[in-house]
């Protein structure tokens, strides 16, 4: 490609007290221009309430000792393996 935008699936290390007081490895999707400018960003933890976890699930996410630890935090709390772009706009195809 010699032009156009690119979607990047990556992660950020951050804190979100709705999930845990510990550091999270948080999955993020970026849209980047050909010149490297980030023009759109989606961060998983910013949508935590929309995921509608039960209280039990929230407790497991924040306290489960089996979750992979990283950097002193709870680590990879919501791992996304892939993403794809859709040409669907406003519910139409």
Domain layout of the chain by residue ranges: 6-76
Q: Report pLDDT for 46.
A: 94
pTM for the whole structure: 0.74
Residues in the chain where the model's pLDDT stays below 70: 1, 62-75, 88-93
Q: Report pLDDT for 77.
A: 78
Q: Kindly report the CA angle at 53 between 47 and 58, in degrees rounded to 5?
A: 100
Q: Report pLDDT for 37.
A: 97
- Name the residue among 71, 72, 76, 85 with its Cα closest to residue 42: 85
Residue 88 tokens, joined: 């669907």
């Amino acid at each position: 490609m010699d032009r156009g935008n690119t979607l990047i699936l990556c992660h950020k290390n951050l804190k979100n007290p709705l999930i845990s007081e510990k550091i999270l490895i948080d999955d993020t999707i970026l849209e980047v221009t050909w010149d490297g400018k980030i023009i759109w960003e989606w961060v998983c933890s910013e949508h935590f309430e929309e995921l509608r976890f039960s209280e039990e699930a929230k407790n497991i996410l924040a306290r489960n000792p089996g979750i992979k630890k990283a950097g002193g935090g709870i680590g990879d709390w919501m791992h996304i393996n892939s993403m794809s772009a859709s040409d669907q706009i406003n519910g139409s195809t």
